Every structure is written in structure tokens, then in C-alpha cells.
């Protein structure tokens, strides 16, 4: 039986890989081995529990305030014996995190073939997102199978000279994950708190935004909330202590925003589906909110998800206080502008990506 190993370590990788673990396990032709690096701990475990995925290996590498050196070196060191024991026929990694990069590198050193899920996303700006753009491009050099979510991602890989036969447009597995999360009969105390208002959903965590850009975001958000008495914001805050410190400094005492602990993915999708609009620097949320017809103000200078911008539901607003304040106010005050962005669109898949990936693996390995 062919051995397929899946390695992931952060919350978004888990959300997008767990449905694939389940699909591969349904097929009788594979031995499926799951290794988590534990790059995230508190934010990873609930996702595994929600999907009922029990890892075979857990490298438990997370430490507070970890640097890119810490993550990369710990993974390289700890994954080597696992790969040497399992000797997978293929190792699947996801997206663009340091877990993804370090695992692909370890596989390359051990001559184990790599399959890249969510391959081909690009900004072509190595500084943004940082270090993710590098991670994706580097994994793209190593990978033997490239599961691209969209045609645009395929084009990137082809232009870079990847063998066309190694590229498969499958859609994004996050859409598979979303099939069962949003329910009509959903209640949450935070949603009850915001029920008398337009609810804004906020997340922020990117490494390149730590420092001044993040302070800019929070200042702009605070000003807009203070000027709009019919608006409340819910912000499930990332566990990164640097993010928490900036949020406390800028948003403390603002009673129109509730900063809460990270939400379970089930709750998160239900919040997204019920918000008025979303402000974020997240990658995954740019793929999810458009499906619910929710406009997203992307607080970044670049995006590797231009499909959502082209569809009109994402607006790249940068990280200056002035620009975020302007666009946030404009969408709240101008119904026409809001309506132009608020339509359901889903350029990222039809919910069957995992089946396609599993079919390809069945045929090709
Ligand atoms: C990582 C990924 C980023 C992805 C993000 C998803 C890299 C370099 N970055 O960024 O691409 O978008 O995950 O959220 O791979 N922490 C906890 N508990 C957790 C998770 C994090 O305490 O469950 C704290 C720790 O102090 C940790 C810090 O957050 O050191 C930063 O975590 P890290 O994985 O290094 O970076 P992220 O910003 O989460
Ligand atoms: N998410 C979650 N709980 C939260 C915030 C986000 O489950 O409190 C989910 C969200 O639905 C999306 C993913 O986490 O699927 C995005 O993760 P994140 O923004 O941390 O990383 P990125 O996508 O930017 O790499």
C-alpha cells in the first residue's frame, strides 16, 4: 500500500488539510500518516479535534516568540527521524508557512517526493507576505505534484517552467472545509452582543504588519467605531503576544469592540457568514468571506488572492491609517459602494478539491 504522509503545523494549514486527510483515509489504497509540527499549539489542537484527526507524529516545536530560525531549525531536526522511519511514497505539504518550507526542504534532502497543496499563489514580491512568498516559491522548486486552486495559480507555475504534467487545478480545500460549518440555527453570546448593530469581523496577524502597520490598523478601526454608533466589532485575536500588546495599547477602553480568544473554525465561519464586513490581513479569510457575500477590506499592501479582487469582493486597502479609515468609513456610509462588493462569489472551488487530489494521487503514485 502506498504511504502518503501529510505534514502541517498552523491553524490555517490544519483547516485546509484535515478534509484531505479524511478523504484519503476513505480510500482503501493508501496508508495515511499525519505528522503535525506543532508550529501552533493552542490554535492547532481545536482544529484537529473539530475534524477528528489524530496525528501519528507531533513534533511539538512551538515556543513563545519563536523566530523563523527557531521554526525552521527545529522542524528540520525533528522531522528527519520521522521521515526516515515512515519513508513515505509522497509527502503532502500545504501553502506557505515555515512548516511547509522546512518540511519540503527535509524531503528534498531525503529524496522524498513532495506534493504541494495550494500551489502557485504568488505576489512576486519576496517581502510581502513575509516570509510566505519565499516559502511558496521555494516549495514550488521542490514539489513533484502541484495542486493549484485556480487557473491563475496554474499559469504562475507554468510561466516559472514547472512541468505542465505536474500541475493540477483542483480548487481550494478550504471550500471543502466550509461545506459543513455554516448552519442556519447558530447562536453565540458575542453575536447576541452585536445583534443591535452592524457587526464587523476583524483579524490581524501577519509578520510584515507587526509594529507600525498594525498600530495604524487599530487606530483607524478605533476612530471609525467611535464615529459610528450603529457599528460593533468582534475581533478574535491571534495568540501572538506582539499582536496582543499592540491591540491592548490601541483598543483598550473602546467599548464598541470585543477582543475575544481565537474562535473554533466552526464558530469562525458562522461569524464570517453573519458579519456586515470583514477587515483582515489573513490569507484564508480572503477566500472564505467572498463565498458568504461579505466584503473584505484587506489590510495589506499585496495579495496572492487577486481572484477575489477581480470578482469585486476584496479591496486591498494597504496598511496606512488614512487609507483604512477612508475605505472602512466609505463602506459603512455609502450603500452603493457596499452593495457593489457584497455579492457571493467563489473563485476558489466547488467543495470537491479533496476528491480531485485523492483521485490524482490514486492514479499517479
Ligand atoms: C504563522 C505562519 C503564517 C500563517 C499564520 C496563521 C510562518 C512564518 N507564519 O504565523 O504564514 O499565516 O501562522 O495563523 O510560518 N502562538 C501561540 N499559540 C498558538 C499559535 C501561536 O502562543 O497556537 C504564539 C507564539 O508565541 C508564537 C507566536 O504566536 O511564537 C507566533 O507564531 P508563528 O507560528 O511563529 O507565527 P504566526 O504569526 O502565527
Ligand atoms: N480562523 C479560526 N478562528 C479564528 C480566526 C480564524 O478558525 O479565530 C480560521 C479562518 O476561518 C481561516 C483560517 O483560520 O480558515 C485563517 O487563519 P489565519 O488568518 O490565522 O492564517 P492565514 O490564512 O493568514 O495563513
Tens of pLDDT along 44-86?
A: 999 999 999 999 999 999 999 999 999 999 999 999 999 999 9
Cα 344 from Cα 131, distance rounded (Å): 31
Considering every ligand atom shown, identify the ligand nearest to the alpha carbon of residue 210 and give its number: 1
For ligand 2, the distance from its centroid to the CA atom of residue 161, given in whole angstroms, is 32
30 Cα–ligand 1 center, Å: 31
Å from CA of 112 to ligand 1 middle: 27
CA of 360 to the centre of ligand 1 (A): 31
Apex CA 346: angle with CA 345 and CA 349, to 5°? 165
Give the per-residue pLDDT at 345.
84
The predicted pLDDT at position 338 comes to 97
**Span 183-226, pLDDT tens digits:** 999 999 999 999 999 999 999 999 999 999 999 999 999 999 99
15 touches ligand 2 (CB under 6 Å): yes
Element (H, E) at 186: none
Ligand 2 pocket, 102 CB below 6 A? no
Number of Cα atoms under 13 Å in the Cβ half of residue 45: 5
Q: Check if 205 has its Cβ closer than 6 Å to any atom of ligand 2.
A: yes
Helix, coil or strand: residue 32: strand
For the CA of 284, the nearest atom of ligand 1: 12
Domains of the chain plus CATH, in order, are 2-172+349-364 (3.40.50.2000), 189-342 (3.40.50.2000)
Mean pLDDT taken over the chain: 97
Contact 199, 225 (CB under 8 A): no
What is the C-alpha to C-alpha distance for residues 260 and 258, in angstroms, rounded to an integer? 6
Of 237, 250, 245, which Cα lies nearest the Cα of 281? 237
Q: Is 207 a catalytic residue?
A: yes
- Write the pLDDT tens digit of every residue in 30-48: 999 999 999 999 999 999 9
Whether ligand 2 lies within 6 angstroms of the CB of 207 is answered as no
Distance between CA atoms of residues 17 and 7, nearest Å? 9
Whether 118 is catalytic is: yes
- 300 tagged catalytic: no
pTM, entire model: 0.98
Distance 11 CA to ligand 2 centre (A): 6
pLDDT of residue 346: 85
* H helices present in the chain, as ranges: 11-26, 45-51, 68-86, 98-109, 132-142, 151-159, 173-178, 189-193, 212-227, 241-251, 265-274, 284-288, 306-310, 321-333, 335-341, 353-364
DSSP state of 264: P
| Ranges of the chain with pLDDT below 70 | none
DSSP 52: T
Say whether 215 is catalytic. no
What number of CA atoms fall less than 13 Å from residue 143's CA on the CB side?
35
Bridge partner residues of 115 (DSSP)? 92, 145
pLDDT computed for residue 180 by the predictor: 83
Catalytic residue among 116, 238, 274, 305: 238
Angle between helices 98-109 and 132-142 (to 10 degrees): 30
CA 271-230-225 angle, to 5 degrees, is 80
Of 205, 265, 298, the one to substitute when testing ligand 2's pocket (max ligand atoms within 8 A of C-beta) is 265
CA distance 156 to 122: 7
Residue environment code for 312-349, b if the CB has 16+ CB neighbours within 10 A, otherwise e: ebbbbbbbbbebbbebbeebbeeeeebeebbeebbbbb
Residue 344, pLDDT score: 84
Amino acid at each position: 500500500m502506498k504511504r502518503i504522509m501529510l505534514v502541517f503545523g498552523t491553524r490555517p494549514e490544519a483547516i485546509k488539510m484535515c478534509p484531505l486527510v479524511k478523504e484519503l483515509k476513505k480510500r482503501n489504497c493508501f496508508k495515511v500518516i499525519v505528522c503535525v509540527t506543532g508550529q501552533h499549539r493552542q490554535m492547532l489542537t481545536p482544529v484537529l479535534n473539530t475534524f477528528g484527526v489524530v496525528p501519528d507524529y507531533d513534533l511539538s516545536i512551538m515556543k513563545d516568540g519563536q523566530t523563523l530560525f527557531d521554526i525552521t531549525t527545529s522542524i528540520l531536526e525533528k522531522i528527519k527521524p520521522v521521515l526516515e522511519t515512515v519513508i513515505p511514497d509522497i509527502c503532502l505539504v500545504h501553502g506557505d508557512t515555515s512548516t511547509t518550507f522546512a518540511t519540503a526542504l527535509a524531503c528534498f534532502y531525503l529524496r522524498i517526493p513532495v506534493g504541494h497543496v495550494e500551489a502557485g499563489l504568488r505576489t512576486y514580491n519576496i517581502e510581502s507576505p513575509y516570509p510566505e512568498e519565499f516559502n511558496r516559491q521555494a516549495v514550488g522548486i521542490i514539489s513533484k505534484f502541484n495542486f493549484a486552486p485556480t487557473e491563475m495559480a496554474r499559469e504562475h507555475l507554468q510561466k516559472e517552467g514547472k512541468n505542465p504534467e505536474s500541475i493540477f487545478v483542483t480548487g481550494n480545500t478550504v471550500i471543502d472545509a466550509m461545506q459543513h460549518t455554516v448552519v442556519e440555527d447558530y447562536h453565540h453570546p458575542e453575536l447576541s452582543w452585536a445583534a443591535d448593530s452592524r457587526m464587523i469581523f476583524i483579524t490581524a496577524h501577519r509578520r510584515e504588519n507587526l509594529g507600525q502597520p498594525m498600530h495604524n490598523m487599530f487606530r483607524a478601526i478605533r476612530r471609525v467605531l467611535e464615529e459610528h454608533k450603529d457599528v460593533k466589532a468582534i475581533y478574535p485575536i491571534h495568540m501572538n503576544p506582539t499582536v496582543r500588546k499592540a491591540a491592548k495599547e490601541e483598543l483598550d477602553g473602546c467599548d464598541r469592540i470585543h477582543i475575544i480568544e481565537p474562535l473554533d473554525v466552526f464558530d469562525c465561519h458562522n461569524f464570517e457568514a453573519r458579519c456586515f464586513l470583514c477587515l483582515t490581513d489573513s490569507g484564508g479569510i480572503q477566500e472564505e468571506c467572498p463565498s458568504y457575500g461579505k466584503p473584505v477590506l484587506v489590510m495589506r499592501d499585496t495579495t496572492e488572492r487577486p481572484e477575489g479582487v477581480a470578482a469585486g469582493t476584496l479591496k486591498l486597502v494597504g496598511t496606512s491609517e488614512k487609507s483604512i479609515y477612508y475605505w472602512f468609513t466609505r463602506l459603512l456610509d455609502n450603500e452603493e459602494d457596499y452593495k457593489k462588493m457584497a455579492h457571493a462569489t467563489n473563485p476558489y472551488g466547488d467543495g470537491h478539491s479533496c476528491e480531485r487530489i485523492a483521485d490524482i494521487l490514486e492514479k499517479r503514485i
